[in-house]
Copies of this chain bind each other. A is one copy, B any other.
């Protein structure tokens, strides 16, 4: 698979240099792989740190800025960052009000953030953690690694980010992050497999007439392979999977997310189908976001994430945000 790269080994460092050049509002430490909003630490404000494997851009670096993350730690492609990065990020953004780690539920991310939390606390930084595990495709049980963190990460980062920006204390920001995660579910579909720079070819074989239902964002195969479906059928299936688990009684925010290689034209069309199903199910949609936000390199496909919101969460959603990938409000 052809890629717009030099060599696989420098992909993440190259991208960070490119980010630094494009976004003077961010302070990008290429050597130590930490992306920090330039005005950090903001006095009295809780710091929000997230991170994870690279390859999901704009997540997380593209969500650093006022109203969202204070810092992001990009790991190697599809590989959790190391504790050193997280400790450095925490130190850079802590104003004394403490730091919230937003961690997608993968064994690697959990272990590394846990180690980092211990080390940061050793340095006198107060750390809280929110685990994101929204992917209903994965059976959750004591005997598995549990559900993956996918699209809902954006909800948690935006809403907890707005709460922190409003000056809420660490416990409140953490509680909101947790509430958002508990109110959110996602389901993803792949039309093509992903190729990582180090492997250089698709991680699995997905023939022309088939698709994978219930995929994650790391090129893992999904739970089930089926004959290719229409946009309408995929929306029916994905929304049903989410709603079977979420059963919202209040309005939702909908994220209709592209996995990377699906054209925006198709994503908007898919959104029309998602909105149709939600309407048929009597779910009221308060806000909708359509685009490539939580991606999987060059994978074609999409995911649907819903977050049930009350008025407080909706206010936090509408609050100003000023990051490379998400911007609104004033």
Contacts and interface: CB of A to CB of B under 8 A. Distances in A.
B231 A57 contact: no
A208 to B, nearest CB: 7
B289 A22 contact: yes
Contacts of A248: none
Interface in A143-161: none
A55 interface: yes
Interface string A307-320: 00000000000000
A271 B17 CA distance: 8
| Centre residue among A11, A15, A191 by max chain B CB count within 10 A | A15
What is the copy number of this chain in the assembly?
Answer: 2
Given A2-B300, A6-B232, A22-B289, A268 B14 contact: yes
Nearest to A263: B297
A327 B7 CA distance: 33
A4 B269 contact: yes
A251 interface: no
Interface string A47-58: 000000011011
Contacts of A3: 191, 266
Contact of A57 (B232, B264, B327): B264
B328 A327 contact: yes
Contacts of A272: 14-15, 17-18, 21
A183 interface: no
Nearest to A207: B2
A147 to B, nearest CB: 24
Given A272-B17, A289-B22, A292-B292, A265 B57 contact: yes
Contacts of A15: 265-266, 268-269, 272
The 6 closest A-B pairs by CB, nearest first: A14-B269, A18-B268, A18-B271, A57-B264, A17-B272, A18-B272
Given A4-B231, A22-B288, 5 more contacts: A15-B268, A17-B272, A18-B272, A22-B289, A292-B292
28 contacts: A4-B191, A4-B262, A4-B266, A4-B267, A4-B301, A5-B231, A6-B230, A6-B269, A11-B265, A11-B269, A12-B265, A14-B269, A14-B273, A15-B266, A16-B268, A17-B269, A18-B269, A18-B271, A18-B272, A18-B273, A18-B290, A22-B256, A22-B289, A22-B290, A57-B265, A57-B268, A264-B295, A298-B300
Interface of A: 1-7, 10-12, 14-19, 21-22, 54-55, 57-58, 62, 77, 191-192, 208-209, 211, 228, 230-232, 234, 256, 260-273, 275, 285, 288-290, 292, 295, 297-298, 300-302, 327-328, 330
